[in-house]
Structure 1
Amino acid sequence: MSPSDASDSAVLPEYLLDSVSLLSKKWHPAIVRCLADTTGYSFSDIEDRLDGVSAKVLTDALSELQAYEIIERREVSQSPLRVSYTLTERGEELNEVIASLADWGETHLAAPATERVVLVAEDNPRVNEMHTAWLEEEYTVRTASDGEETLRRLDGDVGVVVLDRRMPGPSGDDVLDWIRSQQYDIRVVMATSEDVDLDLLDMGFDDYLTKPIEKQELLSAAADLFERHQYDAQLQEYLALRAKLTLLQVEYSAERLESNDEYRRLRSRLDELEPASDDLDDVDPELFERIPVEIPS
C-alpha cells in the first residue's frame, strides 16, 4: 500500500486532525465568526467584540490565522499606523464549516430549554387578553375563562397560575384548594378586585395582587414565583406565609390581627420557619422588595 493510500484509508487522516486542532483553539473560531460578513475590523474592534480575550492572546491568534491564510492583515494607513483584518476566501469557507458546527451543536448538544408555563385564569375577556399579552413576552401562556376550564388546563407543566378569585363555576378559592390537594408544584398568585379580608388566613396562595394590576407588578410576581421553584419546601412556605401576613398587616391593625387565633398560629409558624442567614445566601435580595424585611409584632 502506498503512503497516499494509507492516508486515504486512515480513520483519522492527518488533515482532519490538523483541522480539529485549529478549531479546538478557543479564540480561532470566535475570530472567524467575528470577521464574517464584514469589510474588516481593526485590532481594537475585534478585542472589543471578544469578551475576555487578552491583547497577547489575540495577537498570537491573529498571527496563526494569517499563517494559515484564513485571515488577511491590511494596512489602512501608515501615519498613524492602522490595520484591518478580513477573511480570505479560505476563511469564508471555514466560516461556513463553523456555522454548520454551531447549528449541529445547538440541535444535538445544547441542553433543552426549560419551558416556563403560566396559566392565566380570568373570566373578564379584556383583562385575560391584557395579562396574557404581558406575560407572553417571557413565558408560554395558557388561558382559561372559568373554573372548569382552569381545572382542565392544569397539569404538572404549569409553573405559575394567575388565578382570579371570583370566576363562574368553581371559584378561584375552589381551584386553589384543588391544586393544593393534588400536591402540584405550582405557585399561585391570587388576583382579585375584592377587599382584603381575614378569610385569606386559610388560603394557600403564594402571592396576592389587587386589581387593577399593573404590568410590571404582574411580571415581577411571576418572576418571583418561578424563582421560588429553586428553593426547598420550607423556604417556599416561609416566603408565601410572609407575603400573606404582610398583606394583612397593611389592611388591619395589630390589635385586630392579634385577636385572631389563626393569625397568631401563622405568626408562630412563621417564627418556626425563619431561615438562618446562611440559608439566604442564594436568595435574590430583590425577592424581598415587595415583602418587608421585618414583620412587626
Structure 2
Amino acid sequence: MTDSHARETPVVPDSLLDSVSLLSKKWHPALVRCLSGTDGQGFSDLERRLDGVSAKVLTDALAELREYEIIERREVSQSPLRVNYTLTERGEELNAVIQSLADWGETHLAEPETEPVVLVADDNKRVNTMHSAWLEDDYTVRTAGDGEETLRNLDTDVDVVVLDRRMPGLSGGEVLDWIRSQRYDIRVVVVTSEDVDLDLLDMGFDEYLTKPVRRDELRSVVADLFERRTYSTELQEYLGLKSKIGLLRAEYPDDTLETHDLYQRLRSRLDELEASDGTFEEVDAKTLERVAVGSPQ
C-alpha cells in the first residue's frame, strides 16, 4: 500500500515544474515585481523601468503572463490608444511568492558582509599596538612594522591605510606612491611626528595626522575616509585637496604659499572642482563644513 502510494505521488509534481518554468524566465518575475503596488503601467513605462529588456521580449512576456491570467490589459483611452497593465488577484498571490523567494535569497544566498579592513603601518610597536586597539572594535585591523611588510599586507580587501610617513626600508611616501600606481581603491591617512613641509604637495594622501594622535581624532578620520569611498572620484579629489591645502595654510604664511608653483596649481584645481556643477551632489553640507575647518580661503 505504501509503495503503491509512493509511486502514484511524484516527488516533484507537475505543478511545481510548471511554476519553476514560469519564474525561471528572466523578465517574468521582474514584470510582476514592477507592477506590484501600482495602479497599472503602460508599455513604455515598463520598458523604461526594466532596463535592458527589448520591445519584443517585453511583448512576449506580457502576452504569456496574460495567458496565465497573472496580469490584465486595460484600455485607458482609444484616441490615441493607451493601455495599462495591472496585476490580477492571481498575480498579487504570485508577487507574494516572489517576495518570499527574494527574502530567502537575501538571507541564505547573498554574499556575507565582511567587516571593513584597516591596515595600520608604523615602525613604533607601541604606537602600532595603540592605534590598532583604538580601531579593532569597528574594523578588521592588519598591522605592519615597515614599508616592505606594509606592501605584503596590501590587497584589494584593504579599505583604509593608517600610514606612518617615515619607516625603515620603504618610506611611507614610497608605499603611498605604490598604492596609487596600482590604482587600488584605498584611502590613506598619513601619520607623522615631523613638521609639516611643502613636500606634502607631492603626496597622494587623503588625510594627514600629526603625532601624538588622539583616539577620537584617529577614529573620526578613519570613519570619514570610509564614507568618502562611496563618493565620486571628483568629490574624493576635492576633499583630499581641501584637507591638504588647509593643513599647509595653517603652517605657512600666505606669501610663502603664493610663490610656490605646485601649491598654485593645486589651488587652481580646487577652484575648478568648486565651480563644477555635480561635484557636491553626493555629500551633505555638514561633511563639507567639517572638511572646510582649518582650510581658510
For the aligned pair, the TM-score class normalised by the smaller chain equals 0.5 to 0.7
CA distance in 2, matches of 1:196, 1:294: 14
1:287 shift after superposition: 2.9
Task: State the distance in 2 between where 1:295 and 1:133 align.
Answer: 30
Question: 8 Å contact 2:231–2:282 — kept in the other structure?
Answer: no
Distance 1:142 1:294, change over 3 A: closer
- SS of the residue aligned with 2:291? coil
2-side partners of 1:141 and 1:116: how far apart?
A: 9
2:236 aligned with 1:253, yes or no? no
* RMSD over aligned Cα atoms: 3.1
Alignment of 1:97-112 (within 5 A): 108-110=108-110, 112=112
1:162/1:237 Cα in 2 relative to 1: closer, same or farther (>3 Å)? same
Kindly state the Cα deviation for residue 235 of structure 1 after the two structures are TM-superposed: 1.1
Quote the residue 1:99 is aligned against. none
Counterpart of 2:132 in structure 1 is 132
| Structure 1 residue 113, shift from structure 2 partner | 1.0
How big is the shift at 1:136? 0.7
Please tell me the residue identity of whatever aligns with 1:125: K
Per the alignment, residue 148 of structure 2 pairs with 148
Q: Which runs of 5+ in 1 are unaligned?
A: 14-103
Are the equivalent residues in 2 in contact too, given 1:151–1:175 (CA < 8 A)?
Answer: yes
Question: Superposed, which structure 2 residues align to 1:66-215 within 5 Å?
Answer: 108-110=108-110, 112-215=112-215
Q: Which amino acid aligns with 1:288?
A: L
Length-normalised TM-score, structure 2: 0.62
Percent identity at matched positions? 66
Task: Provide the residue aligned with 1:97 in structure 2.
Answer: none
Q: C-alpha separation between the residues in 2 aligned to 1:283 and 1:151?
A: 32
Tell me the residue number matched to 2:30: none
CA offsets per residue over residues 262-286 of structure 1, 9 Å max, x none?
Answer: 1111101111122656643431444
Aligned counterparts of 1:294 and 1:10: Cα–Cα separation in 2: 74
Contact preservation (8 Å) 1:235, 1:275: no
Aligned residue pairs: how many? 207
CA distance 1:11–1:282, shift in 2 (3 Å) = farther
- Output the amino acid matched with 1:201: L
Contact 2:273–2:279 under 8 Å retained in 1: no
1:50-108 per-position Cα deviation (integer Å, ceiling 9, x unaligned): xxxxxxxxxxxxxxxxxxxxxxxxxxxxxxxxxxxxxxxxxxxxxxxxxxxxxx77751
Q: Shift of the alpha carbon at 1:256?
A: 1.0
> Structure 2 CA distance, aligned partners of 1:261 and 1:162?
29
Post-superposition CA distance 1:160-187 (Å, at most 9, x none):
1000011111010111111111111111
Q: Deviation at 1:293?
A: 6.4
Per-residue deviation, 1:119: 0.3
Say whether the 8 Å CA contact 1:163–1:188 is kept in structure 2: yes
Task: For residue 290 of structure 1, report the CA deviation from its aligned partner.
Answer: 4.1
Unmatched 5+ residue regions in structure 2?
A: 14-103
Question: Aligned partners of 1:114 and 1:285: how far apart in 2?
Answer: 30
Q: C-alpha separation between the residues in 2 aligned to 1:294 and 1:193?
A: 19
Distance change in 2, residues 1:136/1:294 (3 Å)? closer
Aligned residue in 1 for 2:46: none
For residues 172-227 of structure 1, the C-alpha deviation after alignment (integer angstroms, 9 at most, x for no partner) is 01111111111111111000011101110111100000011111111111111111
The DSSP-based 3-state class of the residue aligned with 1:291 is: helix
State the secondary structure of the residue aligned to 1:267: helix
1:215 and 1:288 map into 2 onto residues whose CA distance is: 23
